[in-house]
A and B are shown apart, each in its own frame.
With several copies, the nearest count.
Chain A
Amino acid sequence: MAEDKVKILYFSWIRERVGLNDELVSMPDGVKTVAQLLVWLQGRNEQFAAAFEFPEIIRVALDQEHADHAQDLGKPSEIALFPPMTGG
């Protein structure tokens, strides 16, 4: 069901490597923290392995708020994954 799915957005070179702007994902059981999400994403396929090769540098936003890797995912409707920002 759509209610169980979460929208994941990818930006910058993460978007280019995974080949997607965004997708709807069913979060697997056992993925409870940001760090666990990154491990799971890395294992999905070769493209995701390349995008998440160095998970420690990936920034994560839960419902548009910056989140630490140790943080619980909770039940966000939107998760964004991106490299360190270079605006300004």
Chain B
Amino acid sequence: MATKPIVRVQCDDFDQAAEIRDLVASNHDIGAIATFIGLCRSEGESLSALELEHYPGMAESQMENCASAACERWPIDKMLVIHRYGVIQPGEQIVLVVAASRHRDAAFDGARYVMDFLKTDAPFWKKEHRSDGAAGQWVDARDSDETAKERWK
């Protein structure tokens, strides 16, 4: 049976080392852990923060959908996805994906697949807070995020 992923949406920051430790603690046949962390960028110091809005309920279910799809497609033993919301400053963490497997290909593919689908399917939106105090814009979706999913067809 495919691994059931752990999915969390939270305002608080996360401790990736502690999360990974908890995730793989009991399993000594995991040989590979691929991790992705998304950070808030300052865009050359022009941003003071990003504010992340989300759709509670649907955010979790969409994250679970793409994580479960990865666990069905590759032999993944453990999968964790955390996404934050609220005001996040440059350098701070926004998203964590951890995929653990016996071998590295499944771990890398699984983590990347989840990021690609999470970007376009999970209901989160980023608004910029500008360093100069001017009104911030909502971040535009990137076409490249839509096309990134094509590689998994």
Contact = CB atoms under 8 A, between A and B. Distances in A.
Interface string B107-143: 0000000010011111111110000000000111100
Given A9-B55, A11-B55, A84 B122 contact: no
A66 interface: yes
Contact of B141 (A9, A11, A80, A86): A86
B34 interface: no
Contact of A12 (B53, B57, B83): B53
A64 interface: yes
Contacts of A11: 53, 55, 123, 125
A74 interface: no
Nearest to A80: B55
B58 A88 contact: no
A37 to B, nearest CB: 17
Contacts, number: 71
A80 B138 CA distance: 18
B115 A85 contact: no
B54 interface: yes
Given A86-B140, A86-B141, A87-B125, A61 B119 contact: no
Interface string A1-29: 00000000101110100000000000000
B58 A85 contact: no
Contacts of A9: 55
B67 interface: no
A88 B38 contact: yes
A40 interface: no
A12 B94 CA distance: 18
Nearest to A9: B55
Contact of A85 (B94, B125, B127): B125
A12 B138 contact: yes
Contact of B58 (A61, A83, A84, A86): A61
Nearest to B84: A87
B62 to A, nearest CB: 8
Interface in B23-73: 38, 52-55, 57-59, 61
Interface of B: 38, 52-55, 57-59, 61, 83, 94-95, 104, 115, 118-127, 138-141, 145
